């Protein structure tokens, strides 16, 4: 009905009238009136309704034409499923159920979908255990310059983990998490991204930040919670964050970064940026509801986001066999309509190639991608964990010696004559000196003042925070022995 004259009009006349109408509000009101009041509209097939909606959107007199062309609003890809109608033209309507997402054939057979495929999904690999390229493998070429940086960053990450872990054991920092056994995942994935891509880490991705230019001194400042720490000492050690490097601050809460990454990716899409978001998560994180919500959110909005799962076998002390009965994580993508791949996480070239291809698809095709990287957490979950209590030491040692991703990549570099024993010695000595120096400097810097605990949330601190600060200062004065003496009041 025409809301002004209360006169019944047909769909064609309705469309013509809307094109002459004055405001977007009236257009959408009119569309609602049509869908709610005209019985003929309900009788239209889904395809015709979709075509009408697309035509309607195309002719809206909106000042910003980009809105109309956005793949989020009336994008042909959002109705891709209607292609199934073309494939089902020979099917009698009585033998198929027509749904908004397309036709579904009926079958007289009682048959359940199998809970598991006959074979497990394959794992993409480029290098064998000895660092030799598999002859039939297809991969993205890596230049000598990039390969050398990848390897030296892996060495630096490995050395940093060793020294900072020892510093925690000495009581110099309170907490630490290593990436031992997962260096290729960190560095190779980072190398395949661009600086404009937004990183949503979990807590084992320090190597991604290292690749992007975060200095050893900046790592040390954060772990020692001094005044130079960007978080002003208010985060646990290893909870890094850097606006400059598009690296969102680590959160202890498991998997909350996943839906956040989808939101960021959607904003990149709306702004037509040549960039994507990437969210890292462990196998334990896929057991959280946020993982499933994020995949569905990303698929529906067609957001350019990469979900990178480090399936390292253990969620602290919980093995993957106690987390899910599916074929790992990669198969979960299909259930939500997300393109997926499984990759050898200890093969730097495979990880680099997979992320490089995923980034291209995510941006060019405006779609989410799920990557499952199979690896093994050689180190303990954190400095608060003793993994020998729940897994055999022999298993850990075997992975450390036989499947070390750093050693495998080094062998490939040596096969290309890009690396030598001399370069190895220089790289490890240089990394060790830099890290030890950074720790010494970080320990000299003052701690943030007590007042910084209450800043950066409100422009003017409310009364309850002022009261809390007052009570804290009084408590420190009454019990100075219970508080660090190097924290300025």
Residues labelled catalytic:
166, 252, 381-382
Phi first, then psi, for residue 152 (nearest 5°) are: -65, -35
Other residues' Cβ atoms within 10 Å of the Cβ of residue 289: 9
Where residue 128 falls (left for φ over 0; alpha for ψ -120 to 50; beta otherwise) is: beta
b/e for 247-257, b at 16 or more Cβ within 10 A?
bbbbbeebbeb
With a CB cutoff of 8 Å and minimum separation 6, the contacts of 30 are 3, 14, 17, 18, 21
Residue 356 in contact with residue 192, Cβ under 8 Å?
yes
The angle at the Cα of 303, spanning 372 to 206, to the nearest 5 degrees, equals 50
For residues 157 and 183, the answer to whether their CB atoms sit within 8 Å is: yes
Contact by Cβ (8 Å): 418, 144: yes
Q: Mark 130-159 as b/e (b = at least 16 C-beta within 10 Å).
A: ebeeeeeeebeebeeeebbebbbbbbbbbb
d(CA 234, CA 47) in angstroms, rounded, equals 54
| CB-CB neighbours of 219 under 10 Å | 23
Structure tokens given for 243? 């606006």
Would you call 127 helix, strand, or coil by DSSP? Answer: strand
Cα–Cα nearest to 374, from 342, 397, 399, 405: 342
Q: Which two tokens stand for residue 196?
A: 């404009």
Query: Closest by alpha carbon to 420, among 428, 461, 5, 446?
Result: 428
Question: Rounded distance, CA 258 to CA 23, Å?
Answer: 38
H-run or E-run covering 97: strand 96-99
3-state secondary structure 412-472: HHHHCCCCCHHHHHHHHHHHHHHHHHHHHHHHHCCCCCHHHHHCCCCCCCCHHHHHHHHHH
């Amino acid at each position: 009905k025409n809301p002004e004259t209360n006169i019944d009009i047909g769909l064609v006349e309705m469309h013509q009238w809307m094109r002459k109408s004055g405001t977007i509000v009236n257009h959408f009101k009119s569309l609602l009136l049509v869908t709610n009041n005209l019985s003929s509209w309900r009788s239209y097939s889904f395809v015709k309704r979709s075509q009408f909606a697309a035509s309607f959107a195309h002719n809206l007199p909106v000042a910003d034409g980009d809105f109309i062309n956005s793949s989020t609003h009336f994008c042909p890809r959002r109705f891709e499923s209607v292609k199934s109608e073309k494939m089902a033209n020979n099917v009698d309507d009585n033998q198929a159920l027509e749904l908004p997402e397309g036709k579904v054939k009926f079958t007289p057979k009682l048959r359940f979908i199998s809970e598991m495929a006959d074979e497990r999904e394959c794992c993409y690999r480029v290098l064998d255990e000895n660092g030799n390229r598999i002859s039939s493998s297809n991969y993205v070429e890596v230049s000598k310059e990039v390969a050398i940086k990848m390897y030296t960053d892996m060495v630096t990450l490995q050395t940093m983990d060793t020294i900072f872990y020892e510093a925690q054991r000495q009581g110099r920092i309170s907490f630490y998490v290593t990436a031992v056994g997962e260096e290729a995942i960190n560095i190779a994935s980072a190398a395949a991204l661009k600086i404009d891509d937004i990183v949503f880490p979990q807590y084992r991705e320090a190597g991604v930040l290292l690749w992007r230019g975060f200095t050893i001194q900046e790592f040390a400042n954060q772990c020692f919670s001094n005044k130079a720490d960007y978080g002003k000492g208010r985060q646990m050690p290893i909870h890094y964050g850097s606006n400059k490097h598009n690296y969102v601050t680590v959160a202890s809460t498991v998997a909350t970064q996943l839906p956040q990454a989808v939101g960021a990716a959607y904003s990149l899409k709306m702004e037509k940026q040549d960039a994507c978001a990437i969210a890292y998560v462990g196998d334990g994180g896929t057991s959280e509801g946020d993982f499933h919500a994020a995949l569905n959110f990303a698929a529906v909005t067609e957001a350019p986001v990469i979900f990178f799962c480090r399936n390292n076998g253990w969620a602290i002390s919980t093995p993957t066999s106690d987390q899910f009965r599916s074929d790992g994580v990669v198969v979960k993508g299909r259930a939500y309509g997300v393109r997926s791949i499984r990759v050898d996480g200890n093969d730097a070239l495979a990880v680099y190639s997979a992320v490089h291809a995923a980034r291209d698809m995510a941006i060019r095709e405006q779609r989410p991608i799920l990557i499952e990287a199979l690896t093994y957490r050689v180190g303990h979950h954190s400095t608060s964990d003793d993994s020998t209590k729940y897994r055999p030491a022999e298993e850990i040692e075997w992975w450390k010696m036989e499947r070390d991703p750093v050693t495998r990549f080094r062998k490939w570099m040596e096969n290309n004559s890009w690396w030598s024993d001399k370069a190895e010695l220089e790289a490890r000595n240089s990394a060790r000196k830099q890290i030890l120096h950074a720790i010494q400097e970080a320990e000299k810097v003052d701690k943030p003042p007590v007042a910084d605990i209450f800043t950066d949330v409100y422009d003017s601190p409310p009364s309850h925070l002022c009261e809390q600060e007052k009570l804290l200062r009084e408590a420190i004065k009454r019990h100075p022995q219970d508080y660090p003496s190097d924290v300025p009041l």
